Every structure is written in structure tokens, then in C-alpha cells.
């Protein structure tokens, strides 16, 4: 059923092309003119009109790269890969002496014949890692056909990159990191013990660089999830969908101190598109103090990327009433806990882990196997509040769900450290808060969608 639907869609895209398609071949079928080998020592040969790459031990990834650079383009080719061999197609990629001593880096169309089946995903080689793995679009995991020629299409047009495998839309990102670079075919490194002599084959490589918009297959909205890889910027789709940035990457607009009318003059720093709370003495809201949104929110979807330094403690609070706590300490509200569970002692306190990362602080522990990417790395917190139902997500995984304004909620609060705050977590509107807990924590990509009137 789903397959039929996808094939139908693919057919629609094909018939959608109405301008003349001006293709240029990148491979003459005879030799590797216009290509050069980079980084590793695996071999590329032309055999019967096919470029054949062969694995070799004790050499890193090897790339057969175009000598020319390409910015906006539509690229098509076919590949066939031996089972067990990972490969990929670089695009808008570069090799710079100033960056990791010439290592090829940039966008890679993933070729992954393993059970994971992420073929068609987009990996940022030697840079940010996965931009779009196929768990984002699992129905397209079956697009790749093992031990057959598979047809690849990559559309890189402006800040939008889309991939297709055998006509099935696979990945879709919006990113602005690199506008131009070479195209390169990968033979993956196999270390010192991998199987030598495995092959990946490429043929019928052609590129279009004109009339791209009219020839784009234009994956429609909602057919596959589009991921925004830009910092502090909304995609057109996000804007149309009602998302608003809570942090513009440059100024403190929209924020104030939790216990003051203006933004704190110390402790909170904005640099390189990142909002940072500086290290002080580890106490709660005792130095720079918490900051809150100027606006209040009722039902919402909130996304915050955060990066914690070793041993750090912070948090994202919602349904905050800044007027409640007149004394010392943080303003009162429901808290998505941000913590280095390994190094901060609070992770061991509380009850059954209800003070660990992504937990509803002091109330509900996050699930066991949280997909935390680690200290010093960006992680994505997501909080969904619809009606009285609340969810805490971490890096795409649901970690906590609960329902406030219920007897269970009040019974649970009555046991917690919030027991004496009247109406805790039950207000209709509250501020969003970022916590100063005296540790250095970074924030970016803070955005919110109002669900109240949807």
C-alpha cells in the first residue's frame, strides 16, 4: 500500500518536469578524465563503462572527486555495492589544507547496504555527522535494492538538499553551511582487518546546473519530514507552520531576567549565534540569575538545542510564575532538567532518578536509555504541551509524558519539593525559563510553536 503510494508519487514527480533537461555527463565511460583520487589509496578503475572502486586495507576513506566544483545542481547516477560495504557520494565537499589537513569534508549521500538501511540519508563527512538519518523517514528504507543497480538523484538547490533512491524521496534538509564544492565517489576505509577486494560501482553519472527549479522533483510538503539544519533561522515551511524563533542568534530580544524587567547585564553572553550562561559558583540562580521569555505560553511545542560542559546543571522551565518565589533561588515552574548525569551529584539525589537529564525535575524520571549525545555536544530538547498533556523529548526520543491538572498530578506534586507552591504547574499561561545554575551551558535554535489555537 505504502509502496504503491510512493511509486505513484515518484511518477508524479517525473511527469512534473516540463522544461528541457540539460544534462552534462560527468563520466565518459572510458577513463577517469575530469576526476582525481583524494585522501586514501583504494583503487578506482573503469571496467566496461563502469567506475569500480575496490577496498584496500590500511588506508583511510578514498575519494574519486570531480576536478570541478558545483554549487546548485541536480545529480543523477547509478550505483551497485557489494553487501557489507558502506559507501557514499560527496557533494558540495571540499579539501582544505586549513581544515583537518586536507581531509575531504562536506555533505555525503549515504550508501548503506547494512540492516540499518540508511541509504539515501545525508551525512556531514568529517564535520557534523548525521544531518538526516533514515529513522527520520523510515518508509523510504526499502528504496534501496541490494545487489542491483540503484538510481540516485541528489538535488542541491539554494539551501535545500533532497535525495532520492530509485525515485523514492529519502532525505530533505535545509542548510547553509557550504554552498559549493566537488562531487566525489567514496571507497570506505576498512581499517587493517576489513575485507579487501570488495567493490562499489558507479555509472551513468550526469549533472544539470540550469533550470533547476522547474526540473526539481519538488518533494511536496508533508510527504517526507524536512529537517532544518540551520542555526537560529526558520525554514519557509516552519514559518508557514507557525514556528517563531525565541532567540535570533544575536540579541537578547524577547528575554528578560526572571526577577527583573530587563536582561541581565552579566553572566549571560551571546556569541557565535549561541546564548551562554557562564560558569560561576554552581549555585541556583544566584549570580546572573535565570532568564525568561517576555511572553507567556499556554499550549506549545518548544525546541531548544543545548550543550553542557562537564558537571553542569541547568534547566528549561515552563508554566513559570515569576512572581511566586519572592526569595532566593530559581523562579517556580515545571522543569525539563538539564544535567551532566555522570558528574553532577544531583543525578543521584531525588527519587528513582527524577533529577536526571530530561526528567521532570523532582517529579518524573526520564526513561532509562536516554539518547544523550554527551557533554560538549549539541543535544535537542523538545517540550510539547497540548491540553494538559506534556511530553519531554531528547534527541527525537520521548523521555517523559504526563498529564497535569489531574488528581495524580496533585498527589505527585504533594510529595515533591514543590508541595508548598500553590497551584504548581496548573496555570494556563506561564513564561519559558532558561536556568542559571552557576554552570556553563550553551543554548541555540530556541523556537516555539503556539498550539493553543490549533
Residues forming contacts to a second copy in the complex (CB under 8 A) are 351-352, 354, 363-365, 400-403, 406-412, 414-416, 419
CB of 402 to a second copy, least distance (A): 5
CB of 381 to a second copy, least distance (A): 17
196 touches 157 (CB < 8 A): no
253: CB partners within 8 A, 6+ apart: none
CB of 39 to a second copy, least distance (A): 48
Nearer to a second copy among residue 309 and residue 416 (C-beta): 416
CB of 374 to a second copy, least distance (A): 24
Nearer to a second copy among residue 13 and residue 393 (C-beta): 393
Residue 178 C-beta-side C-alpha neighbours within 13 Å: 20
- Alpha-carbon dihedral sign for residues 243, 379, 388, 315: negative
150 touches 112 (CB < 8 A): no
Nearer to a second copy among residue 262 and residue 407 (C-beta): 407
- What is the C-alpha separation between 325 and 163, in angstroms, rounded? 52
Query: What are the backbone angles phi and psi of residue 374, rounded to the nearest 5°?
Result: 110, 165
Nearer to a second copy among residue 94 and residue 359 (C-beta): 359
Q: Which helix (DSSP H) or strand (DSSP E) does residue 11 occupy?
A: helix 2-15
Nearer to a second copy among residue 192 and residue 407 (C-beta): 407
Cell output for 144: 534501496
- What is the C-alpha separation between 381 and 329, in angstroms, rounded? 23
CB of 398 to a second copy, least distance (A): 10
Nearer to a second copy among residue 2 and residue 352 (C-beta): 352
- What is the C-alpha separation between 227 and 34, in angstroms, rounded? 33
344: CB partners within 8 A, 6+ apart: 311, 312, 313
- What is the C-alpha separation between 314 and 421, in angstroms, rounded? 21
Nearer to a second copy among residue 261 and residue 411 (C-beta): 411
CB of 382 to a second copy, least distance (A): 16
CB of 350 to a second copy, least distance (A): 9
Amino acid at each position: 500500500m505504502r509502496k504503491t503510494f510512493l511509486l505513484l508519487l515518484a511518477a508524479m514527480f517525473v511527469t512534473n518536469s516540463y522544461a528541457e533537461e540539460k544534462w552534462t555527463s560527468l563520466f565518459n565511460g572510458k577513463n577517469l578524465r575530469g576526476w582525481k583520487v583524494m585522501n586514501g589509496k583504494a583503487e578506482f578503475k573503469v571496467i566496461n563503462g563502469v567506475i569500480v572502486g575496490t577496498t584496500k586495507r590500511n588506508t583511510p576513506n578514498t575519494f574519486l572527486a570531480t576536478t570541478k566544483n558545483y554549487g546548485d545542481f541536480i545529480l543523477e547516477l547509478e550505483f551497485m555495492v557489494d553487501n557489507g560495504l558502506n559507501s557514499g557520494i560527496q557533494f558540495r565537499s571540499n579539501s582544505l589544507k586549513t581544515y583537518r589537513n586536507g581531509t575531504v569534508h562536506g555533505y555525503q549521500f549515504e550508501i548503506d547496504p547494512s540492516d540499518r538501511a540508511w541509504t539515501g540519508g545525508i551525512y556531514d563527512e568529517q564535520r557534523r555527522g548525521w544531518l538526516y538519518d533514515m529513522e527520520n523517514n523510515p518508509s523510504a528504507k526499502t528504496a534501496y535494492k541490494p545487489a542491483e543497480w540503484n538510481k540516485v538523484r541528489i538535488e542541491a538547490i539554494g539551501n535545500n538538499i533532497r535525495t532520492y533512491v530509485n525515485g523514492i524521496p529519502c532525505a530533505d534538509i535545509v542548510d547553509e553551511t557550504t554552498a559549493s564544492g566537488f562531487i566525489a565517489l567514496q571507497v570506505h576505509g576498512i581499517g587493517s582487518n576489513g575485507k579487501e577486494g570488495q567493490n562499489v560501482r558507479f555509472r551513468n553519472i550526469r549533472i544539470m546546473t540550469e533550470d533547476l527549479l522547474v526540473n526539481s522533483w519538488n518533494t511536496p510538503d508533508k510527504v517526507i519530514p524536512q529537517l532544518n539544519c540551520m542555526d537560529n533561522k526558520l525554514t519557509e515551511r516552519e514559518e508557514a507552520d507557525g514556528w517563531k524563533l525565541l532567540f535570533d542568534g544575536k540579541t537578547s530580544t524577547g528575554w528578560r531576567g526572571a526577577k527583573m524587567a530587563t536582561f541581565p547585564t552579566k553572566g549571560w553572553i551571546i556569541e557565535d549565534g549561541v546564548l551562554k550562561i557562564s560558569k560561576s559558583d554552581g549555585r541556583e540562580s544566584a549570580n546572573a540569575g535565570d532568564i525568561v521569555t517576555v511572553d507567556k505560553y499556554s499550549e506549545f511545542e518548544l525546541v531548544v538545542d543545548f550543550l553542557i560542559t562537564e558537571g553542569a546543571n541547568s534547566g528549561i522551565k515552563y508554566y513559570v510564575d515569576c512572581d511566586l518565589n519572592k526569595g532566593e533561588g530559581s523562579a517556580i515552574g515545571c522543569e525539563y532538567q538539564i544535567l551532566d548525569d555522570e558528574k553532577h551529584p544531583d543525578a543521584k539525589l531525588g527519587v528513582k532518578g527524577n533529577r536526571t537529564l530530561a526528567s521532570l525535575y523532582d517529579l518524573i524520571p526520564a526513561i532509562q536509555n536516554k539518547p544523550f549525545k554527551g557533554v560538549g555536544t549539541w543535544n535537542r530538547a523538545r517540550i510539547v504541551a497540548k491540553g494538559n498533556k506534556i511530553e519531554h523529548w531528547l534527541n527525537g526520543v520521548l523521555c517523559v509524558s504526563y498529564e497535569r491538572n489531574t488528581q495524580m498530578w496533585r498527589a505527585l506534586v504533594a510529595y515533591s519539593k514543590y508541595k508548598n507552591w500553590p497551584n504548581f504547574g496548573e496555570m494556563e499561561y506561564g513564561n519559558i525559563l532558561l536556568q542559571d545554575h552557576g554552570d556553563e551551558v550553551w543554548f541555540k535554535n530556541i523556537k516555539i510553536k503556539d498550539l493553543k489555537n490549533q
